[in-house]
Amino acid sequence: AECGGRLSSVLDITMKDGNNKTYEVDGGIGLLSSRLTFQGPIQKEKSSFILSGRRTYIDILSKPFMPKESSFNGSGYYFYDLTTKINYRISDKDRLYLSGYFGRDVFNFTNSKNDIGIQIPWGNATTSLRWNHLFSDKLFMNTSLIFSDYRFAFNIQQTDFELKIFSGINDWNTKVDFLYQPNQRHTIKFGSNYTYHEFSPGNATGRSGEVVFEPDQIYKQYSNEGALYFSDDFEFSDLLKIHAGLRYSSFQHSGYISFRDYIKNEFKGSKDNYRHIEPRLTIRYKLNPTSSIKAAYTQNYQYIHLASTASVSLPTDLWIPSSSGIEPKFSEQYAAGFFKNINDNMYETSIEVYYKNMTNLIEYKEGELPEDNTNTSSDGSFAFGDGKSYGIEVLLKKNKGKTTGWIGYTLSKTTRHFDEINDGIEFPAKYDRRHDLSITATHKLSEKWTFGSVFVYATGNAITLPTERYMIGGDIYTEYTSRNGFRMDPYHRLDVSATYTNKKNKKFESSWVFSIYNIYSRKNPYFIYFALEPTEGEEGSIQDGNITPKAYEVSIFPILPSITWNFNF
């Protein structure tokens, strides 16, 4: 119940505190990426720090493996990030933590033949201050102040056309969380959080020939989001365990002025308030010492929306808040599973089924694009409908022995239904993935040599593509497939590695990793774009009918061999 604000899953990441006794350095230098982490005490036994950074240069290394005629040619991707954390023990009952993260991903694509260039940078920056207080050995509190900054840009140039779309969210968040554990079988959590959102949902500049357009100022929206929660995790017996939670959430769209003006009572727009109760229930029952069944029911509300277009396979996604014209998304999810350990926990097996029903989903209306309503409210650009997602997940995992790994498979279906889209006929969601298979294996040959491999397979994304283009009265018209009526090729890839560990002494350890990414150089599709090509031997023009739109599929990474030296001292 402490997690909310999304209909999807939650990824919970905790940073290391840093070594408060001695200095430590570990890192890796490789052909694909390098990383370095430095940690140690500021004041021994009382305070410590950790600083970590990494950078990939896949875009540079992969160029020699991309022939000019290949679908890999022209594409490049890299990322870099920096993480830091400081902790200070005030007393046996109080600790302070200050942490920060900054990361950026950048995708580039250029093709001089078709005169097209695309750049997509995106990333997050966040910092947090946390105070941990221990009231007793049964009750403690975490109070956090958090700031996060998300930025996304989509820049495209083709012939004499240029478009740049910028989107982002700034969040100021405060949280107070309590954990009370009266005994080993009983854990209670309760607390509150408040977030102030500042949206830049879609600001654009562009050029078409000699005509240039840009906004006078950056368009923004502001919202307040809060929640109170309570959860009780109780083990009635060795057989039965129940987790019950309740979350009260609220959201207020403050309009189009800043928080500073809002608290000065200068706000003259409309306030759109939403308040909801979100129950959660999970039950686990042990059939015997090695087998159990689990079931869960969850309600979630999501007050900010991801608006994506189906006619572009690139991630031109914009985040917008709920308002008077856009209600919050809502989902009910049911899940049940059977879990069994075999051969003294050497193997773990599970089979789970789930069903999720969603309402108040948004999609761009037919013919609407993200760039059509930039620098102003885009509420009128969306259609509203429902969706559902259901499937079955199977897992077999080996935990012990020289060879370990797992096989995981998901068979699922995710659909959308909008009265105003696709003639009211149900259609697959953009990220509907019928098949999802992962196979991993690690074999420890000796104390020094370890071998590993990973294979993944996933059904391709569903997108909407143009099927015809024609002229009437000098105007160009485009006909499209049914919504998400085209399926991109499946994604699959095999990676292998060999690790040689050389432990010379206790103060210095090192290892060499020899790996091959995408060993059979699968051309996995990343996006599709169109270029106009004239008939061979002619100059070509739309009016004369001797120029044809041609689709091009772009992939990112071919086969990539790599060597990395890891070290720790």
Residue bearing the bigger pLDDT, 549 or 248: 248
- Give strand ranges (E) for 135-236: 139-158, 161-183, 186-208, 211-213, 221-235
Which tokens sit at 513?
């990793």
Task: For the beta carbon of residue 419, count every other beta carbon within 10 angstroms.
Answer: 11
pLDDT above 70 covers a percentage of the chain that reads 88
State how far the Cα of 366 lies from the Cα of 378, in Å rounded to an integer.
14
Instruction: Name, in order, each residue with C-beta under 8 angstroms of 138's C-beta and a sequence gap of 6 or more.
Output: 180, 181, 182
The band of 52, judged by pLDDT with boundaries at 50, 70 and 90, is very high
Strands 560-568 and 508-517: antiparallel
Which stretch of DSSP H or E encloses residue 277? Answer: strand 272-288
State how far the Cα of 546 lies from the Cα of 541, in Å rounded to an integer.
6
Question: Tokens 């499209």 appear where?
Answer: 480
Strand partners for 495: 454
Task: For the beta carbon of residue 564, count every other beta carbon within 10 angstroms.
Answer: 19
Of 280, 409, 283, 380, give the one whose Cα is nearest residue 336.
283
The band of 435, judged by pLDDT with boundaries at 50, 70 and 90, is very high
Instruction: Name, in order, each residue with C-beta under 8 angstroms of 357's C-beta and a sequence gap of 6 or more.
Output: 331, 332, 333, 386, 387, 388
State how far the Cα of 89 lies from the Cα of 528, in Å rounded to an integer.
54
Residue 370: predicted pLDDT: 60
The band of 520, judged by pLDDT with boundaries at 50, 70 and 90, is very high
Question: Cα torsion for 309, 310, 315, 318, to the nearest 10°?
Answer: 20
From the number of C-beta atoms within 10 Å of its C-beta (0-12, 13-18, 19+), residue 361 rates as buried
**Mean pLDDT value across residues 69-82:** 80
Question: Tokens 């969306």 appear where?
Answer: 382
State how far the Cα of 201 lies from the Cα of 212, in Å rounded to an integer.
21
Could you tell me the pTM of the whole model? Answer: 0.86
Residue 479: predicted pLDDT: 77
Of 374, 314, 367, give the one whose Cα is nearest residue 530.
314
Return the HEC string of 327-349.
CCEEEEEEEEEEEEEECCCCEEE
- Tell me the longest C-alpha to C-alpha distance in the chain: 84
State how far the Cα of 238 lies from the Cα of 340, in Å rounded to an integer.
16
The answer to whether the beta carbons of residues 17 and 98 sit under 8 Å apart is no
- pLDDT, tens digit, 9 for 90 and up, residues 337-393: 999 999 999 999 999 999 999 999 998 887 776 655 565 666 678 899 999 999 999
* CA 7 to chain centroid: 13
Of 96, 315, 325, 302, give the one whose Cα is nearest residue 197.
302
The band of 539, judged by pLDDT with boundaries at 50, 70 and 90, is low
From the number of C-beta atoms within 10 Å of its C-beta (0-12, 13-18, 19+), residue 289 rates as exposed
The answer to whether the beta carbons of residues 189 and 4 sit under 8 Å apart is no
The answer to whether the beta carbons of residues 467 and 481 sit under 8 Å apart is yes
**Dihedral class, residue 66 (left if φ above 0, else alpha if ψ from -120 to 50, else beta):** beta
Of 414, 439, 423, give the one whose Cα is nearest residue 494.
439
Q: Is the pLDDT of residue 307 over 60?
A: yes
State how far the Cα of 484 lies from the Cα of 95, in Å rounded to an integer.
51
Residue 550: predicted pLDDT: 77
Q: Is the pLDDT of residue 26 over 70?
A: yes
Which stretch of DSSP H or E encloses residue 60? Answer: helix 58-61
- pLDDT, tens digit, 9 for 90 and up, residues 149-205: 999 988 888 877 888 888 899 999 999 999 999 999 999 999 999 999 999 887 778
Q: Is the pLDDT of residue 519 over 50?
A: yes
Q: Number of helices (H) and strands (E) in the chain: give both, helices first.
A: 2, 32
- pLDDT, tens digit, 9 for 90 and up, residues 448-479: 999 999 999 999 989 888 777 777 776 667 77
Q: Which string of b and e fits 171-186 if b means at least 16 CB within 10 Å?
A: bebebebbebbeeeee
Residue bearing the bigger pLDDT, 163 or 239: 239
**Mean pLDDT value across residues 55-59:** 85
State how far the Cα of 115 lies from the Cα of 288, in Å rounded to an integer.
66
**DSSP summary character for residue 424:** G
Question: Tokens 């140039």 appear where?
Answer: 157
Which tokens sit at 352?
């789970």
- Give strand ranges (E) for 365-490: 382-398, 403-417, 427-428, 435-444, 449-458, 462-463, 466-472, 475-480, 486-487
State how far the Cα of 71 lies from the Cα of 505, in Å rounded to an integer.
48
Strand partners for 525: 555
Residue bearing the bigger pLDDT, 164 or 506: 164
Residue 480: predicted pLDDT: 77
Average per-residue pLDDT for the chain: 88
Strands 33-43 and 24-30: antiparallel
Residue 413: predicted pLDDT: 97
- pLDDT, tens digit, 9 for 90 and up, residues 103-160: 999 988 888 777 788 888 999 999 999 999 999 999 999 999 999 999 998 888 887 7
Task: Tell me phi and psi for residue 263, to 5 degrees.
Answer: -75, -15
Q: Is the pLDDT of residue 414 over 80?
A: yes
Task: Tell me phi and psi for residue 61, to 5 degrees.
Answer: -65, -35
The answer to whether the beta carbons of residues 295 and 350 sit under 8 Å apart is no
Helices (H), 299-381: none
Residue 159: predicted pLDDT: 77
